Amino acid sequence: GGKIRAKIGAELTGAKDVVIEEGTAGEGGKAAAQKGMRRSIFCLSPAGDTPSSARLFDAIVSGCIPVIISDELELPFEGILDYRKIAVFISSTDAVQPGWILRYLKSINSTQIREMRRNLAEYSRHFVYANPAQPLGPEDLVWRMMAGKLVNIKLHTRRSQRVVKESRSVCTCDCRRSNSTHSNPIN
């Protein structure tokens, strides 16, 4: 992530119609970043140290189309939300090719941009935390994603518990109930 960000930053610094700002901690830095994102059409969101970052959330709620630069980024709520409607995806390989990002972004027509920005306005509610939590807000979506994972965990656990004795994949741990129907072993 860091190497790609450095290469992209070096290439785009000084490019026409490109603004690159380093974020700073604190309210002043946050306000400046939000103001810049609201004025921008696209906001780069290169892979970093974590599966997703505040850059992505900030871009979405600011109405700035996220440009996600990653090959395998894990996006929040992706099992529920279709990010293709609100973001542009660029592979790491393409991103580091000289001039590629700018050519690609300039090829996106104004109709597509308007549609993505309309979708961003609709999707932003999924990324704004509220008290009390709102239906389909981020808190609700976290619980929905966890419930979906729990179903898969239960399915896997139950399947592993039904393995017939002498099978190739018998669980030998003491964490599950016996799979036998008889109290005495069958010889």
**Per-residue pLDDT at 161:** 81
CB 46 within 8 A of CB 1: yes
For residue 100, pLDDT beyond 80: yes
For residue 186, pLDDT beyond 50: no
Least confident of 46-55, 124-133, 142-151: 46-55
CB 126 within 8 A of CB 138: yes
Class of domain 1-126: alpha beta
pLDDT digits (tens, 9 = 90+) for 157-183: 888 887 666 655 555 565 555 544 444
**Quick one: average pLDDT of 103-110?**
96
CB 90 within 8 A of CB 113: no
Judged by phi (left if over 0) then psi (alpha if -120 to 50, else beta), residue 77 lies in left
pLDDT digits (tens, 9 = 90+) for 18-32: 887 766 667 777 778
**Per-residue pLDDT at 168:** 58
**Per-residue pLDDT at 9:** 84
Calculate the alpha carbon distances from 103 to 12, 99, 106, 108, 160 in Å.
12, 6, 5, 9, 51
pLDDT band at 187 (very low <50, low <70, confident <90, very high): very low
d(Cα 103, Cα 185) in Å, to the nearest integer?
70
Average pLDDT, the chain: 81
**Per-residue pLDDT at 66:** 94
**Per-residue pLDDT at 26:** 74
d(Cα 169, Cα 104) in Å, to the nearest integer?
50
Q: Which sequence spans correspond to the domains of the chain?
A: 1-126, 129-163
pLDDT digits (tens, 9 = 90+) for 134-159: 888 888 888 888 888 888 888 888 88
**pTM score:** 0.71
Query: Encoding tokens for residue 155?
Result: 């399915």
Burial class (CB in 10 A: 0-12, 13-18, 19+), 34: middle
pLDDT band at 17 (very low <50, low <70, confident <90, very high): confident
d(Cα 145, Cα 165) in Å, to the nearest integer?
34
pLDDT band at 49 (very low <50, low <70, confident <90, very high): low
Read off the amino acid at residue 21: E
How many CB atoms neighbour CB 12 within 10 A? 14
